């Protein structure tokens, strides 16, 4: 790289391989540092006595955010002497990591508004001026799996890997996502999963014939993970909607809650908050079996069972991620593995909440088709595609 910039080793600079330092002819130094977070030094105390004028972090996605923060705090060497502005350059390939959520898109899928002093420059192989390198690299990348091809060839930050064992085996983002536009002439169908961590989710759908469109998603995160806050956001977004509103969700939330005023439950509170829309509840007496509803929805995704078609708006990244990342447990149900938030120490189930509320609406809105699948087509489906050996012992 130095040669490409016109610098000559031994004259313009000398590299000390033992200390990993480049000494430049003008007296400047370039220091190479390993920023891997070691168990013996989790807070990067080894950088505590260093100062820099600027920093360049290559493959920054492989560096913990803590390492970046510490380096950033050390950029102060002789800045005031020469009236310099501190600068940090991060380079990396798209991935699901802290860089994406800090500078590209939040975990809710919303674009990050950068500060005036920040700049994101997107560069793909097409921007490389070396045509020979570009051709060979594109050929190599085109042979990779769809996930890595999307990241490395097209620079897609929304690419999501599939690692196997998914509950929704037949979900394909290339088929089941698109540009879903709100139609003010159609009723809105909203579905809830009673949950507060990592969010209280509300999925917003519209149904036209046998097509069901997942058009919007509200994720009430703390401190807005309350019915009142989520319903307020819905009311603001759809204030002028006049074509009707149906409410779906977890049947167990019909019970009276000791934490709520006597005579009230989760759905009664939602009705009260959204009363100006004259909502109609569509809550079953009990939830459909997790195994059966999963097979029913996989059948819809695979072959548009009974002409039912399901689509998610392409920008609802959390919903798409939930369909791709919700795993299947050994008994055929959804894997309820939990994680702990390092900041709050709250344990929560990372995936499955958005797909749960989707299950509820599909099974209830298409009750006749679901019952038909249960009574006859379910057995044929299991014979054709097989299932976990424990499935036969579950209540369907």
Q: What is the pLDDT of residues 222-258, one digit of tens each?
A: 899 999 999 999 999 999 999 999 999 999 887 755 3
Whether the per-residue pLDDT at 395 is higher than 50: the answer is no
- pLDDT at position 394, please? 28
pLDDT at 391 (0 to 100): 33
pTM over 0.85: no
**Which of 72-81, 240-249, 346-355, 358-367 is the least confident region?**
346-355
Q: What pLDDT, on the 0 to 100 scale, is given for residue 1?
A: 72
Mean pLDDT (the chain) is: 87
* Torsion angle of C-alpha atoms 226, 230, 236, 239, degrees rounded to 10: -110
CATH fold, domain 173-393, is: Nucleotidyltransferase; domain 5 (3.30.420)
Q: CA-based Rg of the chain, rounded to a whole angstrom? A: 26
Task: Please tell me the distance from the alpha carbon of residue 321 to that of residue 338, in angstroms, as a whole number.
Answer: 16
Q: Is it the case that residue 107 has pLDDT exceeding 90? A: no
Tokens of 176: 């089941």
Could you give the percent of the chain with pLDDT greater than 70? 91
Beta carbons of 13 and 25 less than 8 angstroms apart: yes
- Residue 317's pLDDT band (cuts 50, 70, 90): confident
Q: Which residue has the higher pLDDT, 183 or 42?
A: 183
Q: Please state, for a pLDDT cut of 90, what percent of the chain lies above it.
A: 62
pLDDT of residue 256: 59
Q: Phi and psi at residue 293, in whole multiples of 5°?
A: -70, -35
pLDDT confidence of residue 57: 94
> What whole-number distance in Å separates Cα of residue 396 and Cα of residue 392?
9
pLDDT above 50 for 150: yes
What pLDDT was estimated at residue 259? 43
What tens digit of pLDDT does each residue of 258-301 get? 345 544 688 999 999 999 999 999 999 899 999 999 999 999 99
Q: Using pLDDT thresholds of 50, 70 and 90, give the confidence band for residue 149.
A: confident
Confidence bin at 81 (pLDDT 50/70/90): very high
Burial of 308 (0-12, 13-18, 19+ CB in 10 A): buried
pLDDT band at residue 384, thresholds of 50, 70 and 90? low
Q: What number is the average pLDDT over the span 178-202?
A: 94
Of 20-34, 324-338, 375-389, the range with the lowest mean pLDDT is: 375-389
Residues of the chain with CATH 3.30.420.280: 173-393
DSSP 13: E
* φ and ψ at residue 330, rounded to 5 degrees: -65, -25
User: In this structure, are strands 338-340 and 29-31 parallel, antiparallel, or unpaired?
Assistant: unpaired
For residue 389, what pLDDT is reported? 38
The β-bridge relationship of strands 13-16 and 21-24 is antiparallel
Whether 390 has a pLDDT exceeding 70, the answer reads: no
CA neighbor of 295 nearest in space, from 383, 203, 164, 173: 383
Q: Average pLDDT, stretch 173-180?
A: 90
């Amino acid at each position: 790289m130095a040669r490409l910039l016109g610098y000559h080793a031994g004259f313009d600079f000398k590299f000390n391989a033992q200390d990993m330092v480049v000494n430049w002819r003008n007296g400047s130094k370039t220091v190479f540092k390993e920023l891997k977070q070691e168990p013996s030094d989790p807070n990067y105390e080894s950088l505590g006595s260093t100062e820099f004028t600027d920093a360049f972090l290559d493959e920054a996605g492989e560096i913990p955010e803590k390492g970046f923060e510490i380096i950033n705090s050390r950029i102060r060497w002789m800045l005031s002497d020469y009236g310099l502005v501190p600068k940090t350059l991060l380079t990396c390939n798209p991935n699901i990591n802290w860089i994406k959520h800090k500078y590209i898109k939040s975990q809710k899928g919303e674009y990050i508004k950068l500060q005036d002093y920040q700049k994101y420059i997107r560069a793909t192989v097409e921007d490389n001026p070396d045509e020979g390198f570009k051709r060979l690299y594109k050929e190599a990348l085109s042979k990779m799996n769809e996930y890595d091809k999307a990241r490395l060839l097209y620079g897609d930050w929304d690419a999501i890997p599939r690692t196997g064992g998914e509950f929704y085996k037949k979900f394909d983002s290339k088929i089941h996502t698109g540009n879903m536009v709100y139609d003010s002439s159609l009723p809105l169908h909203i579905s809830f999963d009673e949950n507060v961590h990592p969010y209280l989710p509300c999925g917003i759908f519209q149904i036209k014939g046998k097509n069901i469109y997942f058009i919007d998603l509200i994720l009430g995160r703390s401190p807005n993970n309350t019915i009142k806050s989520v319903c307020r956001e819905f009311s603001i977004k759809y204030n002028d909607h006049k074509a009707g509103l149906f409410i779906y969700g977890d049947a167990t939330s019909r019970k009276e809650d000791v934490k709520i005023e006597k005579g009230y439950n989760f759905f009664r509170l939602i009705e009260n908050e959204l009363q100006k829309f004259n909502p109609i509840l569509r809550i079953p007496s009990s939830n459909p079996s997790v195994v059966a509803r999963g097979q029913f929805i996989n059948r819809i995704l695979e072959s548009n069972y009974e002409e039912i078609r399901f689509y998610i708006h392409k920008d609802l990244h959390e919903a798409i991620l939930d369909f791709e990342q919700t795993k299947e447990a050994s008994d055929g149900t959804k894997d309820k593995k939990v994680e702990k938030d390092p900041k709050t120490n709250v344990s929560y189930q990372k995936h499955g909440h958005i797909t749960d509320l989707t299950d509820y609406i599909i099974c209830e809105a298409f009750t006749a088709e679901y019952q038909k699948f249960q009574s006859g087509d379910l057995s044929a489906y299991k014979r054709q595609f097989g299932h976990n050996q424990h499935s036969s012992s579950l209540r369907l």
